[in-house]
């Protein structure tokens, strides 16, 4: 890691001259206004809502929820996850209002951990945040490549009708093309990114609305309410039979579907009235996503009239993609053709594409801020903006790292599937660390911004920290018994690797020069 010869962050006094209140506040936090501040509260919300993209999250992880617990673990588990995840979002929003910078989580940790621990806290939080985001981009765009492959398979006759089943190399090529497209989109000026964010938010909401009405209308057979809310699937074929264990693993679907809202924090330096708009966008995105996602989940589950093992069977027409198989069967029963299912899957594919684009946007802003503070190798190269005031170098870094991460799919699909867990656990560890410091070391010193939780801040914060700790443990547990090479859960390996490497690099190198977020203004 290269050292950057700038002063460690001590906040300038209020009243530092700047063009507007947002720039003045950013100057107080130690930074120049270098990115274009052109986003409204609606645009800030739209980017987080696009990244959360519950229609994408639910669809692409539905197999996991169906296998581990089935309908009960998904429909009821969603409500549990939404409530506890809401505490995480509220706590993050409160801190975001106090410190509206692109660095977001790692900056918060530095300011809340106390002077002695600030550099290490910032370093570890930052690396968990950026690696979690890289894994998130990888999981979203690779899920899109797999969905495109399923659409092509069903469109050419299905697995049992001579349909085209793409090889893992073709899927990887599709994935690469998607990443390049997202890199090009994110090299555009911020006004275009705001437009894509608005489109993503609209498409996600409108798509859910259309599918929630269309699915029950098309289905000749629908699952009973008792099945949707109480049926617990223990026939997972993975050797796990303990109901509580099954339900715990099944929560991954809900938890993965509700991540990415730290984008609101990372976009605050480009958002007007950032100390209010950032937290408002964050909380609103999570609340609406939780509500829309549950309705969509219930509608999808009403289609699950076939036995669960057959929906998950790799030998079915959709190659084991349960949502695609259920949709295809429903349209075929009603109209004699599964063409309508392709339209539904196409709606999900567009949402996933827009989600992936927003992921790269958020990831690049985090990378820009982290390199601005000298924490990344070759920071001076990544910490550059182009003529459109966009950090294009780090955009392509995000795309490149995401492609390298997906190369694991060529060697082991099991290892690649752990990306879902890594994206979830890595993100939530980064979410949880500043909240932990807020309720411990900064319990009495924290000065809230315009958005705050008042006397409930500490209580909500402790609930959030406890949930993050529980999630980290749950998603690191074995997902099959007996444990073997082809079913090993690589999540603790990847997450432990990030922790080990970040701490080792700190001890061996970074502690000698990294002092936490650094100023780039003249005090």
Rounded distance between C-alpha atoms, residue 522 and residue 519, angstroms: 8
The rounded mean pLDDT for the chain is: 86
Share of the chain above pLDDT 90, in %: 43
pLDDT at 487 over 80: no
- Please report how many Cα atoms fall inside a 13 Å half-sphere around the Cα of residue 296, on the Cβ side: 27
Q: What is the DSSP code string of 113-160?
A: S-TTTHHHHHHHHHHHHHHHHHHHHHHHHHHHHHHHHHHHHHHTT-GG
Instruction: Summarize the confidence of residues 357-386 as an average pLDDT.
Output: 82
Instruction: Summarize the confidence of residues 349-367 as an average pLDDT.
Output: 90
Q: What is the DSSP code string of 202-240?
A: HHHHHHHHHHHHHHHHH-SS---HHHHHH--B---SSS-
**Quick one: how far is CA 431 from the chain centroid?**
11
Q: What is the DSSP code string of 466-506?
A: HHHHHHHHHTTS-SSSS--TTT---HHHHHHHHHHHHHHHH
Q: Is the peptide bond before 482 cis (omega within 30 degrees of 0)?
A: yes
Q: Spell out the domain ranges in the chain.
A: 36-512
- Between 100-104, 419-423, 492-496, the lowest mean confidence (pLDDT) is in 419-423
Rounded distance between C-alpha atoms, residue 479 and residue 249, angstroms: 7
Rounded distance between C-alpha atoms, residue 133 and residue 401, angstroms: 10
Give pLDDT, residue 522.
57
Tokens matching residue 98: 């106090």
> Between 148 and 376, where is the model more confident?
148
Q: Which residues pair with 233 in a beta bridge?
A: 69
| Cβ pair 182, 399 in contact under 8 A | yes
| Cβ pair 278, 289 in contact under 8 A | no
Rounded distance between C-alpha atoms, residue 325 and residue 153, angstroms: 11
Give pLDDT, residue 18.
44
CA max distance for the chain: 72
Write out pLDDT tens, residues 63-115: 989 989 899 999 999 999 999 999 999 999 999 999 988 777 888 999 999 88
Write out pLDDT tens, residues 184-238: 999 888 788 888 888 988 999 999 999 999 988 898 888 889 999 999 888 877 8
Residue that the structure tokens 């989940």 belong to: 297
Write out pLDDT tens, residues 438-485: 999 999 899 999 999 999 999 999 999 999 999 998 888 888 888 877
CA distances from 209 to 129, 214, 217, 291, 299 (A): 32, 9, 13, 12, 11
Radius of gyration, alpha carbons of the chain: 22
CATH of domain 36-512: 1.20.1740.10
- Between 1-10, 37-46, 89-98, 474-483, the lowest mean confidence (pLDDT) is in 1-10
Residue among 161, 104, 192 nearest 372 (CA): 104
């Amino acid at each position: 890691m290269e050292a950057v010869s700038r002063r460690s962050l001590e906040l300038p006094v209020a009243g530092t001259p700047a063009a507007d209140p947002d720039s003045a506040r950013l100057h107080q936090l130690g930074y120049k206004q270098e990115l274009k501040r052109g986003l409204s509260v609606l645009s800030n919300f739209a980017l987080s809502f696009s990244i959360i993209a519950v229609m994408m999250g639910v669809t692409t992880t539905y197999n996991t929820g169906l296998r581990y617990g089935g309908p009960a673990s998904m429909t009821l588990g969603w409500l549990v996850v939404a409530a506890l995840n809401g505490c995480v979002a509220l706590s993050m929003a409160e801190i975001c209002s106090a410190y509206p910078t692109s660095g977001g989580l790692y900056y918060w940790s530095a300011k809340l951990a106390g002077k002695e621990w600030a550099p290490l806290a910032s370093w570890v939080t930052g690396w968990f945040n950026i690696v979690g985001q890289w894994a998130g981009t990888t999981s979203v765009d690779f899920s899109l490549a797999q969905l495109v492959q399923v659409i092509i398979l069903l469109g050419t006759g299905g697995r049992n009708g001579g349909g085209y089943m793409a090889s893992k190399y073709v899927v990887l090529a599709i994935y690469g093309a998607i990443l390049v497209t997202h890199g090009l989109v994110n090299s555009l000026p911020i006004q275009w990114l705001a437009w894509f964010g608005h489109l993503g938010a609209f498409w996600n909401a409108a798509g859910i609305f259309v599918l929630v009405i269309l699915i029950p209308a098309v289905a000749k057979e629908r699952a009973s309410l008792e099945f949707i809310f109480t049926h617990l699937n223990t026939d997972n074929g993975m050797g796990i039979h303990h109901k509580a264990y099954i339900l715990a693993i099944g929560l991954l679907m809900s938890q993965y579907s509700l991540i990415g809202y730290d984008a609101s924090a990372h976009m605050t330096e480009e958002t007007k009235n950032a100390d209010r708009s950032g937290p408002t966008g964050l909380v609103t995105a999570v609340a609406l996503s939780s509500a829309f996602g549950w309705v969509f989940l219930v509608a999808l589950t009403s289609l699950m009239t076939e036995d669960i093992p057959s929906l998950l069977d790799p030998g079915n027409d959709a190659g084991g993609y349960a949502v695609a198989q259920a949709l295809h069967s429903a349209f075929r029963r009603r109209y004699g053709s599964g063409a309508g299912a392709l339209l539904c899957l196409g709606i999900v594919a567009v949402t996933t594409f827009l989600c992936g684009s927003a992921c790269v946007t958020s990831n690049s802003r985090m990378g820009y801020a982290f390199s601005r503070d000298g924490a990344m190798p070759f920071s001076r190269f990544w910490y550059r903006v182009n003529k459109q005031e966009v950090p294009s170098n780090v955009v392509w870094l995000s795309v490149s790292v995401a492609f390298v991460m997906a190369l694991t799919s060529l060697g082991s699909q099991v290892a690649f599937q752990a990306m879902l867990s890594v994206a979830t656990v890595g993100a939530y560890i980064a979410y949880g660390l500043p909240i932990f410091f807020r309720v411990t070391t900064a319990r009495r010193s924290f000065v809230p911004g315009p958005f705050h939780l008042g006397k409930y801040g500490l209580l909500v914060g402790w609930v959030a920290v406890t949930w993050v700790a529980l999630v980290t443990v749950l998603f690191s547990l074995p997902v099959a018994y007996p444990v073997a090479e082809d079913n090993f859960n690589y999540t603790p390996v990847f997450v432990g690797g990030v922790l080990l490497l970040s701490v080792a690099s700190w001890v061996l190198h970074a502690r000698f020069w990294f002092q936490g977020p650094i100023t780039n203004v003249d005090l």
